[in-house]
Amino acid sequence: MANDDASTEEILSGYQFVDLDRLALWRERIEAYAARSGLKGTVLLAAEGINFSLSGPAGALDDWLAWVEARLGCDAPIINRQAVGAAPFLRLKVRVRDEIVTFDARVRPTPESAGQALSPAAWNALLEREDLQLVDARNDYEYRIGTFEGAVNPDTASFTEFKDYCRDHLDPDRPVAMFCTGGVRCEKASAWLRNRGFPEVFQLHGGILGYIAATPTEDSRWRGECFVFDDRVSLDAALEPTGRVVCRGCRRPAEGLDPAGVPPISADGECRLCGELFDTARLGSLRERARQVRLARERGYAHLGPDAQS
């Protein structure tokens, strides 16, 4: 819900699957419009639709929604919106991609092909089913800092791996319920499952962020923090930043990092995930980057936060 004060800083994330063409031209027009409006964040464009996460004055975000409806035909985006104390983005990026969330370019979700979208209250009721397969559609590093009670961790490093988990572990004769941060990943995954003969597929409308915003704490089945792809890093049950940091190397939330997100000085010189993901040469580059970030912070310079992802 927009704040009555049009100057209040807010963050608005949303997506809509809608046929788009002339993507390079729209990238230029969106970049020019958003820059004039003082918006920062990320906009992803593909032939299948738009996915955005932007911050700016409340009035400018209202105008953005009206602009994409009038220009791109995005008349029913799934959105999450809240006031923020400080802008969680430091720049604007508008990108053209094959998909607005990378999964399977052959999948084009529609209201008929995707899973049944449930409100938070209906979601809570569904979770009472004993035969339910409740699956977190996010990646392992997201799952580990927070998830729903009883949810299974597919143990994926990227969303493209989620298909393999579904093939190997899900039973088409039992209902499947899935969730993600804002809903866009589940749109793709639920349509993919239904196309493969899963008759009962459910998804959480508006994702985790929508659920937390709408659900009283005493009724909530969510536990822990929700990872977000901006400078806030993770949010608590009140949708407030937790103070968690993200590693400047692997871009994932981790323990034991200083407030600049710099890996601690240790025997290995990096966070655990960096040690698992990168070779010696890359680790050396990350250590140098960490040194530069630390020096910049000491001198009062701002460095850009985590790369936005879909």
The set of catalytic residues is: 180
d(CA 72, CA 6): 24
Measured on CA atoms in the order 36, 39, 45, 49, is the torsion positive or negative?
A: negative
- Token digits for 258? 């200083």
